[in-house]
Amino acid sequence: MSAIEIAAKGVIDVVMKKAIDTATKAFEGWKQCQHNAATKAFESWKRCQHMWAAPRNLEALEKRVAELEEKLDSKRPPDVCQACGERQVRLSWSAPGSTKTLIYQAWSCKACGFVETRYVHPIRA
């Protein structure tokens, strides 16, 4: 081999090495970019899954609200009984208390018969 061939081979080797390094860096950058894009797409997909699930949750909530509204249908819904837990407690009777500022009330449960007495302050306008 002549000196020119050896020099040319050396230049070709240097250029090839530089081209391979540049291509490797470009490929690594592209790979990172693709990874970031895939990660962002996956995160967007996860957010969309929650939004797609929302109508099912909304329907369940609407059903629960309708059931509660049905239970509380009257103007003055019954209270909850402290003995049995049913919503069947109604005011049985009321009378003035021992002082002018209190009212004595008897509340009874229609489900279990439990009677509760309450002293309440009347609301003044």
**What is the per-residue pLDDT across 66-120, written as a single tens digit (0 to 9) for each?**
888 887 776 677 788 999 998 889 999 998 877 778 888 999 999 999 999 988 8
Considering only residues 56 and 27, tell me which one the structure prediction assigns the higher pLDDT.
Answer: 27
Instruction: Report the mean per-residue pLDDT for the chain.
Output: 82
Supply angle C-alpha 102, 105, 69, rounded to 5: 115
**Reported pTM:** 0.42
Quick one: tokens of 13?
């080797």
Write the DSSP string, 36-55.
HHHHHHHHHHHHHHHHHHHH
Q: What local confidence, expressed as pLDDT, does residue 125 receive?
A: 52
Q: What is the pLDDT of residues 11-37, one digit of tens each?
A: 778 888 888 888 888 888 878 877 777
Amino acid identity for residue 58 in this structure:
L
Considering only residues 52 and 63, tell me which one the structure prediction assigns the higher pLDDT.
Answer: 63
